């Protein structure tokens, strides 16, 4: 029997604008293309008062949603990725392949070509969080060393100057919109995957919760101390192919005034999360 909260969520969605998303849903044993109908996560949150449109705009890089299922499973979705998925919208679906979903409401995160683990069934709640109001700016001097903190077995400093050339990942960014209507031209960066840095420091799993990394967030900070949020599922290589890197080189040379280290997030519609002078990465529960 479906949780009563799922029924309440379904009734709320029945009054909202509907859109269709076709996605390849994969698990370790099989895959199938499915067509879903429902309401975009961002639209649902604004139209039902979970968060105001103004607050969403101010929390583009520091905000995130936590979506919870009836069985307690939780998935974090950053505001930035929810807004960036124009062709592959993140939705709260009530129909699959033309039929009402038996599980009530399903969070659908297309995440192609990764696994569909973030697509929760029997969703019961959507919460919004924003890290910015809790920030006390704390200026730091950028260097080649970044600090890893949080839910890690071996937190501490990492000297990016010691990265082996063979371990660097090459990323080419799109031409995107910058501040004030300017354009940021496509660039070629090289650096270490954010996930690989955390993994090397020993990501501390929850022994009870299945795929608990999907409920976690990574908080990246530059020299000014302000936070940028990355959802765990955005960087876990089994679920999403996005190569978010701690870049140390651009177009074959050191970063100059962008660095010495810069967070580079391909796929975003703008460089809001591309933290200049990256000084720390914190893994925490969402």
**147 and 278 inside one domain:** yes
**148 and 217 inside one domain:** yes
Region of 95 on the Ramachandran plot (φ > 0 left; ψ -120 to 50 alpha; else beta): beta
pLDDT in tens, 89-114: 899 999 999 999 988 899 998 866 66
For residue 175, pLDDT over 80 is answered with no
CATH number, domain at 27? 3.90.420.10
pLDDT value at residue 114: 60
- pLDDT class of 246 with cuts at 50, 70, 90: very high
| Alpha-carbon torsion (41, 210, 121, 115), positive or negative | positive
| Cβ neighbours around 226 below 10 Å, total | 16
**122 and 147 inside one domain:** no
**141 and 277 inside one domain:** yes
- Phi and psi at 149, nearest 5°, equal -135, 175
- Percent pLDDT > 70 in the chain is 90
For residue 76, pLDDT over 50 is answered with yes
**217 and 265 inside one domain:** yes
Number of structural domains (the chain) is: 2
pTM recorded for the entire structure: 0.91
Helix or strand holding residue 45 (H, E): helix 41-47
**117 and 149 inside one domain:** no
Full domain range(s) for residue 184: 135-285
Of 105, 130, 155, which closes a domain?
130
- pLDDT class of 207 with cuts at 50, 70, 90: confident
For residue 168, pLDDT over 90 is answered with yes
**145 and 266 inside one domain:** yes
What mean pLDDT, rounded, does the chain reach?
87
For residue 1, pLDDT over 50 is answered with no
**118 and 161 inside one domain:** no
């Amino acid at each position: 029997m479906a949780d009563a909260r799922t029924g309440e969520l379904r009734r709320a969605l029945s009054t909202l604008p509907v859109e269709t998303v076709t996605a390849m849903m994969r698990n370790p044993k099989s895959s199938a293309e499915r067509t879903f109908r429902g309401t975009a996560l961002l639209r649902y949150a604004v139209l039902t008062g979970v968060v105001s449109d103004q607050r969403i705009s101010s929390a583009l890089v520091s905000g995130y949603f936590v979506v919870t299922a009836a069985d307690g499973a939780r998935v974090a979705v950053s505001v930035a990725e929810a807004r960036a998925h124009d062709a592959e919208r993140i939705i709260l679906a009530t129909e699959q392949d033309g039929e009402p979903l038996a599980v009530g409401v399903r969070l659908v995160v297309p995440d192609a070509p990764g696994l569909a683990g973030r697509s929760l069934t029997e969703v019961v709640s959507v919460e919004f969080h924003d890290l910015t109001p809790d920030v006390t700016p704390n200026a730091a001097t950028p260097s080649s060393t970044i600090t890893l903190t949080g839910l890690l077995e071996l937190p501490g400093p990492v000297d990016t100057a010691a990265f082996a050339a063979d371990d660097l990942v090459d990323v080419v960014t799109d031409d995107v919109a910058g501040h004030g209507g300017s354009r940021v031209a496509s660039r070629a960066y090289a650096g270490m995957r954010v996930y690989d840095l955390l993994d090397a420091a020993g990501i501390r799993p929850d022994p009870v919760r299945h795929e608990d990394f999907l409920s976690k967030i990574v908080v990246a900070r530059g020299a000014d101390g302000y936070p940028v949020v990355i959802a765990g599922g955005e960087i876990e290589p089994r679920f999403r192919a996005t190569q978010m890197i701690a870049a140390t080189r651009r177009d074959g040379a050191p970063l100059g005034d962008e660095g010495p280290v810069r967070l580079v997030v391909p796929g975003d519609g703008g460089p809001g999360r591309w933290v200049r002078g990256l000084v720390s990465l914190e893994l925490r529960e969402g």
